[in-house]
Every structure is written in C-alpha cells, then in structure tokens.
Amino acid sequence: MAVTARPALDAQKLRADFPIFEQKIHGKPLAYLDSAASSQKPRQVLDVLRDFYETSYANVHRGVYVLSERATEAYEGAREIAREFVNAPSTREVIFTRSATESINLVAYAWGLDNLGPGDAVLVTELEHHSNFVPWQFIAKRTGADFRLLPIDDNGELRLEALDELADGVKVVATNYVSNSLGTVNPVAKLAAWAHERGAIMVVDAAQGAPHHRVDVQELGCDFLAFSSHKLCGPTGVGALWGRAELLEPMAPFNLGGHMIRSVRAEGTTWGELPYKFEAGTMPIAEAVGFGAAMEYVSSVGLEAIAEYESELAAYALERIAEVGGVTCYGPPADRRAGIVSFNVEGIHPHDVAQVLDSEGVAIRAGHHCCQPLMTRLGVAATNRASFYLYTVPDEIDRLVEGLHKVKKILG
C-alpha cells in the first residue's frame, strides 16, 4: 500500500519502541487496533517513569531537601512541556488533573455553577463522548440552563447550518476535537469564532485530538481545552486542562484541600495562585512526569506526520473493509477523518465480531464507545471500532480483514 512508501513516519521502526508487541496473543502476533480507547506505551516513557521513581521521587513543592526539589523540577518541567505541546501562552494556564474527564468536570463545575442560570443555554454536539456530555447535562440541570445538541449529518459531521437556530442564550459551546467513535475532525476554530460572537465560551475535549493532531490553543481560539496522557503514549491517571487566565482567575476552586490555598484560618480560606488553585492534594506526580515524556516522544515523531499517516491508514482500512461485503462503515470520508473506523457487520453483534477477532490476536473495541446519544442517532446499539496510532502497521488492518471473513464464516 501507499502508506509504507512515505518516509515521514516509519511505523514499523516506531513499533520496536513498544514492548507490548513482543508477545503473542492466542499464539498470534498482537494486532492492537484500540488506540482510541488507550494507547500503548513506548520504552522512552516507561524508562522515564522507572528512573523518576528510582532516583528523583518525593512529594513536590515546599520540600527543602534535594529529592523534593528534583521531583518538583521534573513535575514543573512536564507542565512546561504541556504548555509548549498545546502552544499555551503561559504555564499558569496549564493545570494537571487526573484525566480529561476531570478537566471537563472542573470547567463544568467551577465555571458552570457560577456562570449559568435560567435563560442560559449549553450547546454540545451529538458526537460527544459521555465525558463532554454528561457533566454539561448535569450542570445545566442544576443551574436551570437549557441543554442543547448540535446535530450531525449522515456522514457524522456537524451541521453548522443548524447553529443559528440553537443560539438563543448560549453561554457554553462544548465539542470534541476528534470524535472518538467516528473519527470526525471537528471545525473547532469556526465553532469558537461563532461562540465568541455570541458571548459564549468554547470548551474543547481534545482527549482524542491531542494525541493525533497538532493542537494550538491560540490558533483554535478556544477558552478551555482538555486532554489526557493515556491516549498519548503516557501513563494513566493524569490529564491536563488549559484555560485562559482571565477565565481561570475569577473561578472558584474545584477540588479543595492541601496545596491549593494561600492561607487557611478558622474564619476563612483564601486560594492559591494559578495553576495551583486547581491542584488540590498530592497530584499524580510520576504520571505527570511520564506524561511529559510522552508528549516529547509524540512531538519527536511529529504531530503532522502522525495525522497524515493515520488518515492514510483510515483510507486503507475503509477500502479493505468494504471488500469484505455486508459491512457498513460510519463516519466521514477518509480525507476528513482521523485514524478511527467504526463499522458493523450485517446481522452480527459487535461483541461476537470482537470475540472472534480476539481469537486471531486482533484487538478492537465493540460497544457504544461512551457515545450513547450518537449510537441512537446512527440507529444502532453498538459498533465495532478499529483505531490506529503511530505504531499501527498496514499488516494489522489486513489481519482485521481476514478476521472479518472468519467472523462471517462462523456467525453469518
């Protein structure tokens, strides 16, 4: 296939960085096509984690001894890497969280509870992961604000022409950058401009976008952007939120406890400076350091190269899967999607498809992908989803296709 002819990204070579591929599953090499759920981890990240724990670990901030200083330097170093990764103006605006989900909850609670009320509206898209849907639905209900959905077309792309009829009272527009179910790459900059014209804030869930596409918060023009480590070759348990300082400053804290304070007295407490106001308790320190190493790894491969390569893999997968016959693929054409292909085999439940594929060493996801409103829109209970990353090779897609023939033979 054409993909391998491109020198920009050598997936076969990168694959050697990932120890997980050294094993066999059911006696067969692992074809890992579930990177949209979580990515595998390269040695470069695992080594940093181990090294940090073995040589530099202590709790961060306020420690006056060497180890605490070292740990603080590594933790704050990761913050600077994250700042650069999304081209944020300042590290004060980069908050570590436990996940992209927590980042969104932080905004929904800390901004939403104080800024939403009856007559206001929150607009999210029909494509959202539950992480950028449920918090807004909940906070809208709590505050009496209206909760609205921007619909998609049959390709799984946002119907921007429907925006104006949903505009009344809108205070928050929330969208994912890349749909985790369909791979749709959403026009965030356009949505942000539209939101700002109406005095609304723009919140972006980049959990699926940041690992695969270059993210520049200044170019996107958004107000908040959430992303996580584990989908980006980094450890689980840590995520980040970027937010504009002028919005973060007046916001009430989200989690309360140690380290997020300026002074604590019986009669009252004052809050610390950004970003620490939002980092209560002992943070996932080593995980943040590993997250930093992961962002460096992914950046060294090149976000543009990754996006281009995955789009080619998606085109190849769509073409090969269509050859199987009796398979419906969902989502936009390959040139407008990330490396995610959702599909159904006619008359065969995704769980059965995934189970047979597993016996061939091919790992895909089957289910609603935390997108039940989207599944309802597509008129299905669940889909199969194959998703790719910088270590995915075309051979894995070929094995998926062979597996689908076996699925049809057994269950068709």
Partner 1 sequence: MVDDLYREVILDHYKNPRGHGVIEEPDAQAEGLNPLCGDEVTIYVQFGDDGETIDEVKFSGRGCAISQASTSMLMEMVKGRTAAEIAELPKEELLEEVGIPLTPVRLKCALLGLGVLKVALHRAKGTPLPDEWAGLDELDLR
Torsional class of 182: left (φ above 0), alpha (ψ -120 to 50), beta (otherwise): alpha
Least CB distance to partner 1 at residue 318 (A)? 24
Catalytic site positions:
370
> CA-CA distances (angstroms) from residue 400 to 32, 152, 255, 363?
10, 28, 44, 9
- Select 92 or 349, whichever has its Cβ closest to partner 1: 349
Phi, psi at residue 88, to the nearest 5°?
-80, 150
Report the residue number, 84 or 358, with the smaller CB distance to partner 1: 358
Distance CA 205, CA 224 (A): 8
Q: How far apart are CA 330 and CA 320, in angstroms?
A: 14
We find the least distance from the C-beta atom of residue 56 to partner 1, in angstroms, to be: 38
Closer to partner 1 by Cβ: residue 220 or 354: 354
**Measured from the CB of residue 372, what is the shortest distance to partner 1 in angstroms?**
7
CA angle 49, 50, 54 (to 5 degrees): 120
User: What gap in Å lies between CA 275 and CA 333, rounded to an integer?
Assistant: 40
Give the whole-angstrom CA distance, residue 31 versus residue 365.
12
Considering the complex, state which of residue 44 and residue 359 has its C-beta at the smaller distance from partner 1. Answer: 359
Tell me how far, at minimum, the Cβ of 130 lies from partner 1, in Å: 11
Residue numbers of the site for partner 1 (CB under 8 A)?
26, 348-352, 355-356, 358-359, 366-368, 372, 375-376, 380-382, 410-411
Phi, psi of 81 (to 5 degrees): -65, -40
- Work out how close the CB of 349 gets to partner 1 at its nearest, in angstroms, rounded to a whole number: 4
Judged by beta carbon, residue 50 or residue 405, the one nearer partner 1 is: 405
Task: Give how far the C-alpha of residue 235 lies from the chain's centroid of Cα atoms, to the nearest Å.
Answer: 13
